Structure 1
Amino acid sequence: MCYSLRYCKNLSTLLGNCEKIMADGVVTIRTRKVMTNRLLCRKQMVVDILHPNRASIPKTEICERLAKMYKSTPDVITAFGFRCHFGGGRSTGFALIYDTLDYLKKFEPKYRQQRVSALFLKGYYKRERMGRKQRKERKNRMKKVRGTKKAKVGTAQKKN
């Protein structure tokens, strides 16, 4: 295979080889340090992904593969903290597999619940927020009162 385009007489051969190399994206997922956490009703593990000739893998695909490996469903799996190693081809992250969706809702932080919701459950967890200016005004009104009256200031403004 020639490496310089200047000396290469058959450019289509060179480009054809590149496409074939990039196309075979075999992904291998390995888990280690697998621990069953009975207090939080989940399995937790470190996930190593080998993905040569391919960019990082989407979390949906990771969760689906882990669901097959551990005989579960993808909606009770949270995968996070993935980092690509220098040189590419390898990523390492963390995964939690909950026993049921109820335990996931009970123990998982809200921000990770929103991520799982965005990937698989399409809006089971929807957080309603006031506008930025309303939140700032409410915060400043709460500074002017003491004790339990702070909560009343907040709820009174929500009704308006």
Structure 2
Amino acid sequence: MKPLVAKVITSSFELTNMADAAVTIRTRKFLTNRLLQRKQMVVDVIHPGLANVSKDELRSKIGKMYKAEKEVVSVFGFKTHFGGGKTTGFALIYDNVEALKKFEPKHRLVRIGLAEAPKGGRKQRKEKKNREKKFRGVRKSKKPRKE
């Protein structure tokens, strides 16, 4: 049996942020997954001296890099390296929106606005309300507790 070999393609894209500082987006470990109708890759964002770049902005820039619409790009799992300046995560570019809706987990669809978050049940909402009503903090309550 032949091992699966992925081509290592590195691409980079410069974008200017609010402070006119350059942010570089590099992709590596690019793999075409025909079974799931997508392209998948590891994304490195180099942002020296800046806060993290928003996922929404990353989706649009990665879409431009690979000539795809923003709606079919999914980014997730970003971790900022110690000291800042470099963030690494994953990106998936689907062939179409139907494939995205079929294969992406529901919580990611909710994050990008393609699905509705399920509302909790009535009992769950009431229990949450009552938990929040319970007294918390360092102040004493008006009535002393019976012990």
Q: Same fold (TM over 0.5)?
A: yes
Structure 1 alignment gaps of length 5 or more: 1-21, 118-123, 137-160
- Same amino acid, percent of matched pairs: 58
Q: Which amino acid aligns with 2:28?
A: R
Q: Write the distance in 1 (CA, Å) between the matches of 2:103 and 2:60.
A: 21
SS of 1:23's equivalent? Answer: coil
Identify the match of residue 44 of structure 1 among 33, 40, 45.
40
Does residue 71 of structure 1 match 2:96? no
For residues 123-144 of structure 1, the C-alpha deviation after alignment (integer angstroms, 9 at most, x for no partner) is x4224434251699xxxxxxxx
User: Following TM superposition, by how much is the alpha carbon of 1:25 offset from its aligned partner in structure 2, in angstroms?
Assistant: 2.1
SS of 2:57's equivalent? Answer: helix
Q: Write the distance in 1 (CA, Å) between the matches of 2:74 and 2:96.
A: 12
Q: Write the distance in 2 (CA, Å) between the matches of 1:27 and 1:78.
A: 19
For residues 20-49 of structure 1, the C-alpha deviation after alignment (integer angstroms, 9 at most, x for no partner) is xx9332110000000000000000000000
Normalising by structure 2, we get a TM-score of 0.69
Asked which structure has the greater CA Rg, the reply is 1
SS of 1:27's equivalent? Answer: strand
Q: Write the distance in 1 (CA, Å) between the matches of 2:81 and 2:106.
A: 29
Identify the match of residue 27 of structure 1 among 16, 23, 28.
23
- If each structure's helix is expressed as a fraction of its own residues, which one has the higher value? 1
Q: Equivalences for 1:130-149 in 2 at 5 Å?
A: 130-133=120-123
8 Å Cα contact 1:77/1:98 also seen in 2: yes
Normalising by structure 1, we get a TM-score of 0.63
8 Å Cα contact 1:30/1:47 also seen in 2: yes
Residue equivalent to 1:107 = 103
Structure 2 alignment gaps of length 5 or more: 1-17, 127-147
- If each structure's strand is expressed as a fraction of its own residues, which one has the higher value? 2
Name the Cα RMSD after superposition. Answer: 2.0
User: Following TM superposition, by how much is the alpha carbon of 1:76 offset from its aligned partner in structure 2, in angstroms?
Assistant: 0.8
Q: Write the distance in 1 (CA, Å) between the matches of 2:110 and 2:100.
A: 11
Identify the match of residue 89 of structure 1 among 85, 88, 91.
85
Count of residue pairs the alignment pairs up: 109
Q: Which amino acid aligns with 1:115?
A: R
SS of 2:29's equivalent? Answer: strand
